[in-house]
Chains A and B, each alone.
Chain A
Amino acid sequence: MALKSLKKKRRIQVIALAAVSLVVAVALIGYAFQDGINFFRSPSQVVESPPKSNEVFRIGGLVEEGTLLRGQGEVISFNVTDGGASVPVVFSGILPDLFGENQGMVGTGRYVNGVFEASEILAKHDETYMPKEVVDALKEQGVYVEPES
């Protein structure tokens, strides 16, 4: 009986040690990745330190209101902003359903002469779910407020 409980104690010690070392390892990796895991750059970062024109990267932010221009042939242009800086974007291709003014987007492409030439545009979803009829009714009454994203 004494031997059995000693074994059990040893098992608990081993598993606790394993758990602690795992947590430490994950914390170290997370710490090391703190800057490196950015999925996209913000317009402010791009304006501050413009990447070379041959570097492919992602830019993310909101589509600035009143800047979205469609129907110039195949090209669509708009400005992407994070509140601080704003970067003009050109793109030719199919836009996702959720794309629109004041909505989040992530674009892949290159920064050439102050214009972001996107090869791919993704829309971000802002975790807001509302019935269409309700929003239409609110808009009709003029009391609809865009949720902040």
Chain B
Amino acid sequence: MSIWEYANPVKFIRTTDKVLPWIAGLAAVALVIGLGWGFFFTPDDYRQGSTVKIIYIHVPSAFLAINAWLMMLVASLIWIVRRHHVSALAARAAAPVGAVMTLIALITGAIWGQPMWGTWWEWDPRLTSFLILFLFYLGYMALWEAIENDDTAADLTSILCLVGSVFALLSRYAVNFWNQGLHQGSSVMRAGAATGDTTERVSNVFAVPLFISIAGFALLFIALVFLRTQTEIRARRMRALLARERQA
């Protein structure tokens, strides 16, 4: 029983159909608990007041914006090496979801930044690389649409994905590279719950609902990618059938 069996479109659709309701249900539960807890049952921060609550949307969406691109990178590499069409279609299916996540992170960041930092936008290394990542998402989707031949499109978008992953990684690690800029470092990894550290910088009161929100966003992403990949597979099969009909 090899994992590559799931590269068979029929097998993929059959399996994902079975797990999809569970993942979607879990995502809904985690989102309701995480966001509800975060918005209504957490105290105000000692310096940010209630503006801190935007963290429950900003951090999970930024986390997924980066990880969606890395997932697309893995799927693209599998396509390049093993030529599994489902893999290429999964990368294609994830792009719009990742782009929306990037947009959410950019918008919530601006809304938080205006009262806290004193600016909507600043050309800080992390913010800038995140904006470039968003443009890469748009370019990636446009390239898929622009090329007629499915295999050529999958090849070229895979290369674009490889180049774009520079900015996906940069937006996560830019702070560590240059140790400068306006955006703070990663708070999540400093949470007491994550490190077991007792001198926590992010109180568990905030961290626990945040982790539940991240889990909810991640499950939502997986559910959407499964669903959209199924759609892509069916759309491609339909195009193939129509083409065959025209020839007959």
Residues in chain A within 8 A of chain B (CB atoms): 8, 11-12, 15, 18-19, 22, 26, 30, 37-40, 60, 94-100, 106, 120-136, 147
Contacts and interface: CB of A to CB of B under 8 A. Distances in A.
Interface in B27-51: 42-49, 51
A120 B203 CA distance: 31
Given A18-B159, A125-B117, A129-B55, 7 more contacts: A12-B80, A39-B178, A39-B182, A122-B117, A122-B119, A122-B122, A126-B184
Contacts, number: 115
Contact of B45 (A95, A96, A130): A130
11 contacts: A8-B83, A39-B178, A95-B118, A106-B182, A122-B119, A124-B182, A127-B185, A127-B190, A131-B42, A131-B206, A147-B201
Contacts of A38: 178, 180
B241 interface: no
A149 B117 CA distance: 16
A124 B119 CA distance: 11
Contacts of B187: 127, 129
B46 A98 contact: no
A133 B43 contact: yes
Given A11-B81, A132-B43, A127 B201 contact: yes
Contacts of A99: 118
Interface of B: 42-49, 51-52, 55, 77, 80-83, 115-119, 122, 124-125, 158-159, 162-163, 166, 177-178, 180-182, 184-187, 190, 201-203, 205-207
Nearest to B201: A128
A38 B178 CA distance: 8
Contacts of B185: 127
A43 to B, nearest CB: 14
Contacts of B186: 127
Interface of A is mostly: mixed
Contacts of A100: 47
Contact of A96 (B77, B117, B162, B181): B117
Given A15-B80, A129-B203, A97 B177 contact: no
B43 A98 contact: no
A98 B180 contact: no
Contacts of A135: 46
Contacts of B182: 39, 106, 122, 124
B190 A15 contact: no
A120 B119 contact: yes
A137 to B, nearest CB: 11
A106 B125 CA distance: 14
Nearest to A121: B118
Contacts of A130: 45-46, 203
Contacts of A98: 47-48, 116-117
Contacts of B80: 11-12, 15
A97 B51 contact: yes
Most chain-A CB neighbours within 10 Å: which of B158, B163, B166, B180? B180
A95 B46 CA distance: 18
B122 to A, nearest CB: 7
Contact of B118 (A94, A126, A147): A94
A65 to B, nearest CB: 16
Nearest to A148: B201
Contact of A97 (B82, B115, B184): B115
A26 B226 CA distance: 33
A121 B177 CA distance: 24
